[in-house]
Amino acid sequence: MISSPAIGLSTIYRRRIAVATKTVPGLIGLTVTPVLWILIVAPALAEALGGFSTDIDYYTFVAIGQVAFIIPFTSMFSGINVIVDKDFGILRELMAAPIPRASIPIGNALAVLSIALVQVAIIIVLAELRGAQFETSLAGVLWFIGAASFLSLITYGFAETLALLVGRQEAYGPLVPAVGVTPWFLAGALFPISLLPAGVEHLARALPWTHALALMRYGLMEGTDSGLTNIWHMDSAPLMAALSMATLAGMAVVSLAVAVQVFYRKTSA
Amino acid sequence: MPANAVSVEDLRKTYKNGVEALRGLNFAVESGEIFGILGPNGAGKSTTMGILTTSIKPTSGRAAVAGHDVVQDPLAVRRATGVVFQESVLDNDFSGLDNMRLHARLWGLNREEAEARTSSLLGVMGLSERAGDGVRTYSGGMKRRLEIARALLGKPRVLFLDEPTAGLDPAIRIEIWGLIQRLRRSEGVTILLSTHYLEEAEGVCNRVAIVHKGQVVALDSPGALLDSLGSEILELRVDGEAQRAADALAGVASFSSPPILIGDTLTMPVTNGDGPRFVEAVRQSGASLLGTTIRRPTLNDVFMQRTGAVSNGPARS
């Protein structure tokens, strides 16, 4: 009988995936939401808001913006499971198991990441079918996946922390759109951040959404303005991409570390 | 394996809000025995269980389970133990079988071992036919049996049962206690349980520690503790003037512990046929005697005699 951090992580991961996919409504929510966004909302946005630049295919631009919407939204909703597990579910059983307790929030974060990547794949495939003009390479795909993954880990860490601190579903629920969506409007999802007022633009540069969006466009819209220049004001696109990826990696580490610390504090006396 | 499956030395816990839950707790549980931590709500039972299952950190003192220090080596402690919590702690979205499989993975059992143990334990618990059903559809007793089966899956050396019968109806409580005794025999596991149903623990536990305000006030086999009170307990119900009656009793006999006055009822152990003398003393005090009862001592009586307080468990089973 062997227990290890790997067993803990894999078991928590599998459980969270099972919880998310256990019910028909859950499955519908996971898959239909991105479908609706990319087939209905994105074309409508392209129709209403496109045209700020003739060099960019706006549907492609906003399709990637949808990716940066769905990832934090999924993370924030997953925070509700943290409260359910604590109040009504199985957290005490998990706490009594011979696994490192950090594997509970980390395993959950990895499961939410997997779910988010499936949703992202649905969006990209449907956008491609709908006529998005992705210009990419293997390296570009990796930039895209890396940015999407870090954004998921950052926002899940934040969701876990918030859920543990708030502690009640009725108090946490209203925070989901407020925290999960509001930054998205400032992050260049619908238009470049250079169009924002100067003060707000500075704030936008500090958001993980902004770095992730620029990196995802850098990966999938090669040859167009990704938004990295608006963040870093440098000439070298690869350098700016590396800086944004490092920024996201750092934010992910900090976000998950804070989540683990809050988890320790809130689950032990 | 060390002689003591659990050892607790001068264990203290003060919470951040200043509440002193444990004030120097000491006891040891021998391998293979069923040991009960008994006491009313707030006595410190749950804190003790929390420390021994590594979910609460002690303020000072030492506790070891299966030879492993709970602070220094919590993973080893958790690997050697199973826990049944006071509240139902099941994954309600899943079946009983799914809950067992989750536990098996957490405890690192390989697939073959997990399937064999799961099948065997669900059979013992009478849950085989409902194993595939969602636990939301289980009755309270079924959930508790499933939780006990789950806790035994990893072949723990020590099984912790925190208030295993709390919230269950009397018939199911009797069933669960019988199950616990059978499991000790069949699994050879050391069982440490906490309960505020003091009298129910009498027939189950090899030894009990009665805890009051974070300290052990009595520790022995239930039989020895009951013997310490003699063979009979006399209860005298009086109409008003109960305190005067109590004072009168104190004047006619030297008790090892004074009569306990609860409401209008005086409770005291009697030996050597002293009962009639006590009744007469109460009558002489001017108090009006409404009723007299002679009965066997219970652990509730032990608790009252040792603490002067009333257990908030049921007075009679």
Give the list of residues 6+ apart from residue A23 with CB closer than 8 angstroms, or none: B93
Q: Which one of B14, B47, B91, B136 makes the best mutation probe of the A interface by having the most chain A beta carbons within 10 Å?
A: B91
Query: What is the number of other CB atoms lying within 10 angstroms of the CB of residue B170?
Result: 11
**Distance of alpha carbon B217 from alpha carbon B303, whole angstroms:** 8
CA distances from A245 to A148, A221, B233 (A): 10, 17, 78
Rg of chain A (C-alpha set): 19
Q: For A192-243, how does the pLDDT look when each residue is reduced to its tens digit (9 = 90+)?
A: 888 889 889 999 999 999 999 999 999 999 878 788 999 999 999 999 999 9
C-alpha A139/C-alpha A9 separation (Å) is 29
User: Is B106 in contact with A11 (Cβ distance < 8 A)?
Assistant: yes
Q: For residue A95, which residues of chain B lie inside 8 Å, CB to CB? A: 55
Side chain identity at A98, as an amino acid letter? P
State the smallest CA–CA distance between residue B30 and chain A in angstroms: 22
As a whole number, mean pLDDT of residues B75-80 equals: 95
User: DSSP string covering B124-189, please?
Assistant: HTT-GGGTTSBGGGS-HHHHHHHHHHHHHTT--SEEEEESTTTT--HHHHHHHHHHHHHHHHHH--
**Spatial separation of the C-alpha atoms in residues B18 and A267, rounded to whole Å:** 19
Sketch out chain B's domains with CATH numbers.
Answer: 4-222 (3.40.50.300), 230-296 (3.30.70.100)
Q: Which domain holds residue A80?
A: 5-267
Give B279 to chain A, closest Cα distance, Å: 51
Hey, is the C-beta of A265 within 8 angstroms of any chain B C-beta?
no
In SS3 terms, chain A reads as CCCCHHHHHHHHHHHHHHHHHCCHHHHHHHHHHHHHHHHHHHHHHHHHHCCCCCCCCHHHHHHHHHHHHHHHHHHHHHHHHHHHHHHCCCHHHHHCCCCCCCHHHHHHHHHHHHHHHHHHHHHHHHHHHHCCCCECCHHHHHHHHHHHHHHHHHHHHHHHHHHHHHCCHHHHCCHHHHHHCHHHHHCCCCCCHHHCCHHHHHHHHCCHHHHHHHHHHHHHECCCCCCHHHHHCCCCHHHHHHHHHHHHHHHHHHHHHHHHHHHHHHHCC
Residues A60 and A221: beta-carbon distance below 8 Å:
yes
Mean pLDDT of chain A: 90
Q: What are phi and psi of B24, to 5 degrees?
A: 95, 60
Coil, helix or strand for B9? Answer: strand
Q: Is B273 helix (H, G, I), strand (E, B) or coil?
A: coil
Q: Which residues pair with B34 in a beta bridge?
A: B191
Q: What is the ipTM of this complex?
A: 0.83
The residue that leads in pLDDT, A151 or A181, is A151
Query: What is the nearest CA distance from A113 to chain B, expressed in angstroms?
Result: 21
Pairing type for strands B190-195 and B232-239 reads unpaired
Rounded to a whole number of angstroms, the distance from the CA of B52 to the nearest CA of chain A is 10
Residues facing residue B28 across a β-bridge? B7
Q: How many angstroms separate the CA atoms of A216 and A183, rounded?
A: 17
pLDDT band at B284 (very low <50, low <70, confident <90, very high): confident
The closest of B4, B62, B11 to B35, measured between CA atoms, is B4
Residues of A in contact with B81 (CB under 8 A): 96
A82: left (phi over 0), alpha (psi -120 to 50) or beta: alpha
Q: What token pair was written down for A89?
A: 């579910």
CA distance B203 to chain A (A): 29
Confidence of residue B21 (pLDDT cuts 50, 70, 90): very high
Question: How many domains are contained in chain A?
Answer: 1
A11 and B CB contact within 8 Å: yes
Residue B160's Cβ-count burial label (10 Å; 0-12, 13-18, 19+) is buried
Q: Which of A108-112, A238-242, B122-126, B312-316 has the lowest mean pLDDT?
A: B312-316
Cβ contacts (< 8 Å) between B192 and chain A: which residues?
Answer: none
d(CA B256, CA B269): 9
The predicted pLDDT at position B164 comes to 87
Q: Would you state the pLDDT for residue B101?
A: 95
Kindly state whether A26 is in contact with chain B, defined as any CB-CB distance less than 8 angstroms: no
Parallel/antiparallel/unpaired status of strands B60-65 and B4-14: antiparallel
Chain A positions touching B108 (Cβ under 8 A) are 1-4, 7, 98
Residue with tokens 């689950």: A267
Contacts of B92 in chain A (CB under 8 A): 88-89
Give all strands of the β-sheet with B4-14 in edge-to-edge order: B20-30, B4-14, B60-65, B68-69
Q: In the A/B pair of chains, how many CB contacts fall below 8 A?
A: 86
Whether the pLDDT of residue A99 is over 90: the answer is yes
Residue A55: Cβ-neighbour burial (10 angstroms; 0-12, 13-18, 19+) = exposed
Closest partner residue to A22 among B56, B93, B102, by Cβ?
Answer: B93
Residues of A in contact with B55 (CB under 8 A): 92, 95-96, 267-269
| Candidate from B57, B76, B106 with C-beta closest to A97 | B106
Burial class of B293 by CB neighbour count within 10 A (0 to 12, 13 to 18, 19+): exposed
Of A86-95, B45-54, B199-208, the range with the highest mean pLDDT is B45-54
| Residues in chain B within 8 Å Cβ distance of A88 | 92
Nearest C-alpha neighbor of B24 from the set B15, B14, B11:
B11
pLDDT in tens, B117-143: 999 999 988 999 999 999 999 998 899
CB within 8 Å: B75 and A100: yes
Percent of chain A with pLDDT over 90: 61
CB contact under 8 A, A96 and B107: no
Name every chain A residue with its beta carbon within 8 A of the beta carbon of B150.
93
- Residue A117 burial by Cβ neighbours in a 10 Å radius (0-12, 13-18, 19+): middle
The answer to whether A42 and A66 are in contact (CB under 8 A) is yes
Mean pLDDT, residues B165-183: 85
Q: Which of A11, A14, A86, A268 is the best residue to mutate to test the B interface, defined by the most B CB atoms within 10 Å of its own CB?
A: A11
Given an 8 Å threshold on Cβ–Cβ distance, is B106 in contact with A89? no
Top mean pLDDT of A73-87, A237-251, B277-291 is at A237-251
Tell me if A11 and B102 make a contact (CB, 8 A cut-off). Answer: yes
pLDDT at residue A135 tops 50? yes
Segment A57-84 mean pLDDT: 90
Residue A51: band (very low, low, confident or very high) from pLDDT cuts 50, 70, 90: low
Q: Where are the alpha helices (DSSP H) in B170-264?
A: 170-187, 198-202, 222-227, 242-252
Which residue of chain B comes nearest to A8, CA vs CA?
B106
Alpha-carbon gap, residue A36 to B121, rounded angstroms: 47
Using only C-alpha atoms, chain B has a radius of gyration, in whole angstroms, of: 22
pLDDT for B254 = 61
Nearest to B87 by CA among B207, B2, B177, B167: B167
Answer yes or no: do A96 and B105 touch at CB < 8 A.
no
Return d(Cα A45, Cα A66) in angstroms, integer.
11
B92–A89 C-beta distance less than 8 A: yes
Question: What would the pLDDT profile of B221-280 be if each residue is shown by its tens digit?
Answer: 999 999 888 888 888 888 877 778 888 877 776 665 577 888 888 888 887 777 888 888
Considering only alpha carbons, which residue of chain A is nearest residue B113?
Answer: A1
Sign of CA dihedral A87, A92, A93, A94: positive
Is A99 within 8 Å of chain B by CB? yes
Question: In Å, how far is A102's CA from the nearest CA of chain B?
Answer: 12
Average pLDDT over residues A76-92: 89
CB contact under 8 A, A98 and B103: no
